[in-house]
Amino acid sequence: MMTSPPELFESFLASERAQTHYNERNAERDEVRREELFPLLNRFLDGDVTLEEFKPRNDGLNKQYPYWGFDGFNGQMHFNGCVESL
């Protein structure tokens, strides 16, 4: 009897290897968010960083740390289009 793809996926998710991987990735993402993204966002919201400065810095963070899925049309490309329309 063959194992179905959902069964394989569920088995992998329950494994110690997967749990370790996702826990480490989540911890890295949380650290980057706390140490780099939030400070940049707060400086932008406080007016210390202009929109023109924020856009490439945010894009750089998203490329350096691909944790948020902020790419393609729904991400940075959409953000760039909104900024350019101002």
pLDDT tens per residue, range 10-67: 888 889 998 999 999 999 999 999 999 999 999 999 999 999 999 889 888 888 888 8
Q: What average pLDDT does this structure show over 63-72?
A: 75
Comparing 7 with 2, the larger pLDDT belongs to 7
> What range does the domain containing 48 cover?
5-84
Residue whose token pair is 């991400």: 75
pLDDT confidence of residue 59: 84
pLDDT confidence of residue 66: 82
Distance CA 41, CA 49 (A): 9
**CA nearest neighbour of 32 among 71, 53, 58:** 58
Task: Provide the residue type at 72 as one letter.
Answer: G
Q: At residue 81, does pLDDT exceed 80?
A: no
Q: Which SS3 state, helix, strand or coil, does residue 3 take?
A: coil
9, two tokens: 């996926």
- Name the domain count of the chain: 1
Tell me the pTM.
Answer: 0.69
